[in-house]
Amino acid sequence: MADETIEYYSENLSPIIRNILKQMSEKKINLTDKSLNDALMSNEDFSRLFQSTCRPVYKISVTNRMLPYIDTLKGYVSDRELSDIFAMINGGTDIEDITDAFLGSLAKQLIKNDKRLSTLTEFVESLFKKVLSTQDKMTDNLEDNIRFVEKDINQDKELLGNAEEIEQILREEGIVFPGKPFTKFMEAFDSKLTGKKDKLESMTESYSKIESELTEYKKEVAQLNENIRKYRQETITDHLTGLSNRKYMDIKLAEEIVRFGRHGQPFCILLMDIDNFKKINDVYGHIVGDQVIKHLGGVIKTHIRKSDFSFRYGGEEFLVLLLNTDIENAVRIAEQIRHKVETTNFTLKEKTFVITVTIGVAQYMKGESVESFLERADKNLYNGKRFGKNRVVG
């Protein structure tokens, strides 16, 4: 970008200055800082050069920096949104507006992915329940069949034993016994009994195999559920602090506003910013700055309930969502966090320093948007900064 800027000015500024110096020489005007400044300010070509805000350079610079990232969104973001971003670049729109549009499209896609992931999770859980239900029915039926066959075999054994006893008694009493027919009956009965035993072994083996396969399948589904849970957690987590990220904050605030419409339970947000954080980075370096951010994230987590939510809002800013909490209790919690932070000493190479935070507190009001809610908290944060920092305003 620097080379493009130099080239642009060298092509356009040099002839303008040359003509101005020539005119001053022809008019015999002494060359001083004031005379040169007056000549420059009154020159139309010079004014047009800077009023253009260097748009050619700007366009080239923005295009070169943004296009590689925009290309990665093809196939994920709608063609219409991408076309709008290209139009903004080619039209010389401010970099802040282009960045907002780009990040907005990216955020929409991330939220869509999160919803798709939730749908997939629900599908897997539903499938898992159906598999378990089917497994229970199959194993129950198989167990019932096994018990029936076992009972039938035991009855057959009992009948066969009784028949053998009858034959033995008759022989001992010397009673004429129809030997061959009865013997055939006994052999057929015994053969039937052996067949039932073989069937029972086969059913038991099948049962064990089905039970083993379904148990293994259950483990695989459980692992899939765990992988999905971990992936979803990674997509909503700020990796430096372990708090939730800005994308998840947008989702939870929207959900809480809907819940408020149904039940009317109060909730508040704490919007906090580390005071003089730029100075910390400049004096101690970004590694120490990261440690300060992580420390504040830890303080926040230890001072809120499990039912509350904490987010890294951006940079050195954090947001806490306090459920079922009114403004008085929210201010009390904010003050506890502020006090804990200011009483922590950081030591680096035998040098000790402290940090402070300023916190803006707001309670949600019926009917307001997420943007309006955040703006009120941000205004309180700004007032806290304006009146000396290291304070809670709500």
Q: What is the CA radius of gyration of the chain?
A: 40
Task: Pick the catalytic residue from 81, 256, 316, 317.
Answer: 316
Helices in the chain by DSSP H: which ranges? 2-26, 33-42, 44-51, 55-72, 79-90, 95-172, 179-235, 246-263, 277-284, 286-302, 327-342, 370-386
What distance in Å separates the CA atoms of residue 319 and residue 334, rounded to the nearest whole number? 11
What distance in Å separates the CA atoms of residue 341 and residue 128, rounded to the nearest whole number? 46
Answer yes or no: 164 catalytic: no
Contact residues for 164 (Cβ-Cβ < 8 A; gap 6+): 186
Strand partners, 317: 273, 314
Strand partners, 273: 317, 358
First to last CA, the chain: 44
Say which amino acid occupies 342.
Answer: E
Contact 327, 262 (CB under 8 A): no
What distance in Å separates the CA atoms of residue 245 and residue 199, rounded to the nearest whole number? 61
Contact residues for 209 (Cβ-Cβ < 8 A; gap 6+): none
Question: Counting every residue, how long is the chain?
Answer: 394
Contact 246, 309 (CB under 8 A): no
Strand partners, 353: 346
Question: Which are the catalytic amino acids?
Answer: 316
